[in-house]
Structure formats: C-alpha cells, structure tokens
Amino acid sequence: MFKKILIANRGEIAVRIIKACGEMGITSAAIYSDADKNSLHVRIADEAYNIGHAKSSESYLNIDKIIETALMTNAEAIHPGYGFLSENSDFIKKVTEAGLKFIGPSYQSVELMGNKTSARALMKKNNVPIVPGTTESIRSFEEAKKIALEIGLPIMIKASAGGGGKGMRKITKIEELEQGIERAKNEAEKSFGNSSVYIEKFIENPKHIEVQILGDEHGNYIHLFERECSIQRRHQKVVEEAPSSSINDELRTKVTNIALNAAKACNYYNAGTIELLYDQNESFYFLEMNTRLQVEHPITEMITGVDIVKEQIKIASGETLSIKQNDIKLNGCAIECRIYAEDVDNNFAPSIGNIMHHRLPSGPGIRIDRGIDILSEVSIYYDPMLSKLIAWGRNREEAIARMKQALSAYQIAGVKTNINFFYWILDHPIFLDSTFNNNFLENYFLPLVPNKWRENVNKEYIKVSAILGAFIKSQEKSLKTKKLCSSKNNNWGMQIYE
C-alpha cells in the first residue's frame, strides 16, 4: 500500500480523499492555489503545498508543477478527484512516466471514452445498446441529411470531443440541419479544439440513470447499483438519488449488466460510471462513460456501505477487488442535494464572499461532504459548490423527510445559497411520485418564474427568492421551520432564529 498520496484537487472532494487516506494510514499531501490558503482541505491535510496562482490554469491544471510537487514530497500516487485533470489522458501518461501511480483508469480507457464516437463504436461492437445514430463523425451535409431522414427527426448533433451536454444541438426540422451542423461544428472547434460532430436520435423525455462500477487491474468487475440524476439545470445535476425509484429489480439487473459489459469493453479499471438514457419504452441507451470518481458518489456509498475512494486507492495499489458482487446488498435510499453559493434572483449566478457563519445539520442518516469552513472564501475562480447534503433512509420517504429536516437546520451566512430551492423540489408531486424526467425543472420550475429570466434586474418583478419564500411559508407548518427560517426578509440561505 502507498505511504503517501498527493491529492491534485481542492474543495470537498480533496477533503473526502484526505479522510480516506487518514483512515488507511496513508499520509495525505494537499496542493493549493493562492486563493485557497484558508481552505479546509489545506487545514486538514498532513502536508500542503502552494502550487501557484488562483487561476486554475496556473495551479490545479498545471501538470508539470503537480508532478514536480509529488516527486519532491515523495508521494507514490496521485488522486485527481473530479474535474481539473481527472479525465486528461496526457496527465495520466505523464504521471505514469514520472514513476507515480495514477489513482484512476488507464490513459487508454480515458482516451477511448473521451471520444464519444469511438466510445459509441466500441459499445455497439460489444452489444451495449447505444442511442441510434452514427458511430463516426459526419463528413458532409448530404450524408447527415440522409442519416437524419433515416432515423427520423428530431435528432441531436453532438460534439465528438464533448460530453456532459456541452456542444449539443437539437434539430427538429430538416431545413435547420445545414446551419445546425455548421454552428455545432464551430462551437465544438471553439470549446474542444475539435470540430467533429455526430448524430443521435433525439430521445423524448428520458431519465438520466447511471451505474457505478469498480474494476481491478486483474479483470474483475462489480457494480454498485444505479443513481437517478434526471433533475438537472443547464446540464448540472441538482438532486440525485440512489437507487432510481423508477426501475424495478428486473430493469435494475438489465441496466447493471449493460454497465458491466460497457466497462469490460474498454478494459476499464478503478471507479467509473456508465451514463444512460432511460426512455418511456423502458429502453436503456449508453450515453457516455465518466472515467473518474463522481460528485454524487456518496449516495452509492450510503446504500451499499462501500467506501468508493478507499476502493480506488486499493485498486491503484494493485490489490484484487475485496468485495464480491454477492456481498453487496442494496440497502435503503439516499438522496443528495448540491448546496451551491448561488443567487437564485440573478439566474443562479455564483454568489461570492467569505463564509461568516456555518452550522451544519446532523442526525441519523445525515452526511455532509464539504470543502468550506468558517472564514473560507468562495471565489470567482472555482465552482461555487459549498457542500453536498446527503440523507439516507430505510426507504425513499424516510430519506426525503430527513433531507427536509436537515435543510431546515442548515445555517450559513456570507454568501447566498440555493437551499430554499430544494424544499420546492422535494415537495413537488412529480418528484414524490417519481414520474419526473430530464425536463422536470424546465417544465415545472421555469414557468413559475415570470417571463422566465429577466434581463433588466432593475425592473419591478417577482423574485425567484420570493416565490420560493412564499412556498416555504405555505409549508411552514409541515416543515416545522417557522422558528428557524426567516421568510420575512428572504435572507437567502441564512436561516436565523427569530
């Protein structure tokens, strides 16, 4: 086993990895930028090294500096967390060439899955169901037109180098196709430096279901069931739950088998996630594979009892998977709310500032993964996620009730937050009966906002915070937050005793 690991990340995920190291008796070496000198991950790591300026490109994305720091401190392995360099195959290559172990998959798997057409071609070859469409980039408008008419409109044009909703375009009418391809190619070139695009059939009102898998370096694989991640805003997940409340055991067996086949198809090892669309005909379609630890991994840990980060470290040190598929039992239900420093009245724009007050909920089944502490700074430089609030219950009802209780006890001041947004979601009949799909927020939340998002903020209009505040007021009795939550002054995210 490794004696020291360098954590090439920041925030809550760096904290999460440092804790796993501590539990395993491994020394943790943190890195930090100038903007993060007061961050929690720096405070709790065994060692911490400043690696540069606030801008990510000059710190958390600086490959040479990170590797140099790892070698200087005699770390044996690097954990990349998520985002930053986690899915950069060049980084993995360089880490390996420097004689360090990358805690994650091989660079070949990352490269293969990073290119969406090569991933689709490989999955098709291995009988993993993909969304109907092309497995190669489109070469000409004529070819694209022929394919579009064959599979039927609407279609999606997606960037081969894209993913996570970036560089995606829906085409409803054949007349829009030529310009649509042009624009998609331009966007893809700008965003990814690669103008290749491909075509998929548009799946109407799908759910987003993903399966967590673990593979060791000796060809053994297990799955840790699925997560339901359909509630998204601008391709950012907002609430996730495990297991999915919309599939039964038969479908669960089907989707986890699909995921295992997908992982085997690219000789995958370490932790990975297969993302799928699930449509109204109960069909699953492979969408993409995330070749890293994911933000929402804790809900899977809560329902399986498996510590995914510890397993990642054991796998990277060459161990054989210690858990057998039969040992893993799906237990209860877990939900995660991503608490963001956001201003809901300003189109959910990041809300920056210093954390002046921070008191977190606790209790049976409650877990919080956080990267901030009192006096931490939420800056413009990084993702403004403050924490992940996770609630486990023996069933979905209990998990939801615990989540609402925890939300009402969550106190933070210094930045605005999206906390009140979750009450609205968790109380919605469509959420409660699990009939939601990827359009949930667009269909049910956006219409509540007068004229959608106003550009002229000076104009008199009903604020989103006021809408949510009024909703909470109407729910106060059932939420039992009357004493805790001041809805009078809409003091966002700061829940003060009256």
Instruction: Considering only the stretches 227-235, 255-263, 313-321, 362-370, report the one whose residues sit in contact with ligand MV4 under the rule CB under 6 A.
Output: 227-235
| Residue 39 binds ligand MV4 (CB under 6 A) | no
Least Å from the CB of residue 151 to ligand MV4: 10
Longest dimension (CA), the chain: 67
| Residue 164 binds ligand MV4 (CB under 6 A) | yes
Instruction: Considering only the stretches 107-115, 228-236, 259-267, 401-409, report the one whose residues sit in contact with ligand MV4 under the rule CB under 6 A.
Output: 228-236
Q: Which among 108, 338, 157, 305 has a CA at the least distance from the CA of 225?
A: 305
Q: Which among 165, 164, 184, 163 has a CA at the least distance from the CA of 118?
A: 163
Q: Which among 491, 165, 497 has a CA at the least distance from the CA of 351?
A: 491
Judged by CB under 6 A, which of 13, 35, 112, 156 binds ligand MV4?
A: 156
Among positions 67-106, residues that touch ligand MV4 (CB under 6 A) are none
Judged by CB under 6 A, which of 76, 111, 187, 200 binds ligand MV4?
A: 200
- Exposure pattern of 99-124 as b/e (b: 16+ CB <10 Å)? ebbbbbbbbebbbbbbbbbbbbbbbe
- Does the annotation mark 292 as catalytic? yes
CB 8 within 8 A of CB 66: yes
| Residue 280 binds ligand MV4 (CB under 6 A) | no
Least Å from the CB of residue 42 to ligand MV4: 33
CA dist 429 and 436 (Å) reads 9
The one catalytic residue in 292, 338, 370, 402 is 292
Q: How far apart are the first and last CA of the chain?
A: 53
Helix, strand and coil content of the chain, in percent to the nearest 5, comes to: 35, 25, 40
Nearer to ligand MV4, 164 or 332 (CB): 164
| Residue 202 binds ligand MV4 (CB under 6 A) | yes
| Residue 113 binds ligand MV4 (CB under 6 A) | no
| Number of chain residues interacting with ligand MV4 (CB under 6 A) | 16
CB 368 within 8 A of CB 440: no
Residue 490 tokens, joined: 């809409």
Nearer to ligand MV4, 245 or 354 (CB): 245
Least Å from the CB of residue 284 to ligand MV4: 13
CA dist 297 and 270 (Å) reads 14
Q: Sign of dihedral through CA atoms 67, 71, 73, 79?
A: positive
Least Å from the CB of residue 274 to ligand MV4: 12
Strand ranges in 68-220 using DSSP code E only, listed in sequence order: 77-79, 101-102, 155-163, 166-171, 197-201, 207-215
Nearer to ligand MV4, 279 or 377 (CB): 279
CA dist 67 and 88 (Å) reads 14
| Residue 287 binds ligand MV4 (CB under 6 A) | yes
Work out whether strand 221-233 and strand 207-215 pair parallel, antiparallel, or are unpaired. antiparallel
Nearer to ligand MV4, 200 or 216 (CB): 200
Residue 222 tokens, joined: 């297990």
Instruction: Considering only the stretches 6-14, 199-207, 373-381, 465-473, report the one whose residues sit in contact with ligand MV4 under the rule CB under 6 A.
Output: 199-207
Nearer to ligand MV4, 15 or 287 (CB): 287
Task: Calculate the dihedral angle through the C-alpha atoms of 464, 466, 467, 473, rounding to the nearest 10 degrees.
Answer: 150
Judged by CB under 6 A, which of 232, 273, 420, 495 binds ligand MV4?
A: 232
Nearer to ligand MV4, 95 or 119 (CB): 119
CB 32 within 8 A of CB 11: no
Instruction: Considering only the stretches 62-70, 194-202, 338-346, 360-368, report the one whose residues sit in contact with ligand MV4 under the rule CB under 6 A.
Output: 194-202
Strand ranges in 263-315 using DSSP code E only, listed in sequence order: 270-278, 284-290
| Residue 230 binds ligand MV4 (CB under 6 A) | yes
Among positions 384-423, residues that touch ligand MV4 (CB under 6 A) are none
Nearer to ligand MV4, 338 or 402 (CB): 338
Judged by CB under 6 A, which of 99, 165, 318, 364 binds ligand MV4?
A: 165
| Residue 273 binds ligand MV4 (CB under 6 A) | no
Nearer to ligand MV4, 240 or 345 (CB): 240
Among positions 329-388, residues that touch ligand MV4 (CB under 6 A) are none
* φ, ψ of residue 387 in degrees (nearest 5): -165, 170
| Residue 152 binds ligand MV4 (CB under 6 A) | no
The DSSP letter of residue 445 is I
Nearer to ligand MV4, 169 or 254 (CB): 169
Instruction: Considering only the stretches 14-22, 197-205, 245-253, 384-392, report the one whose residues sit in contact with ligand MV4 under the rule CB under 6 A.
Output: 197-205
Residue 498 tokens, joined: 């009256």
Least Å from the CB of residue 134 to ligand MV4: 12
Write out the DSSP string of 366-414. EEEEES--TT-EE-TTS--EEEEEEEEESSHHHHHHHHHHHHHT-EEES
Residue 245 tokens, joined: 């409340």
- List residues with catalytic annotation: 292
Which residues lie near ligand MV4 (CB under 6 A)?
131, 156, 164-165, 200-203, 206, 208, 230, 232, 235, 275, 287, 438
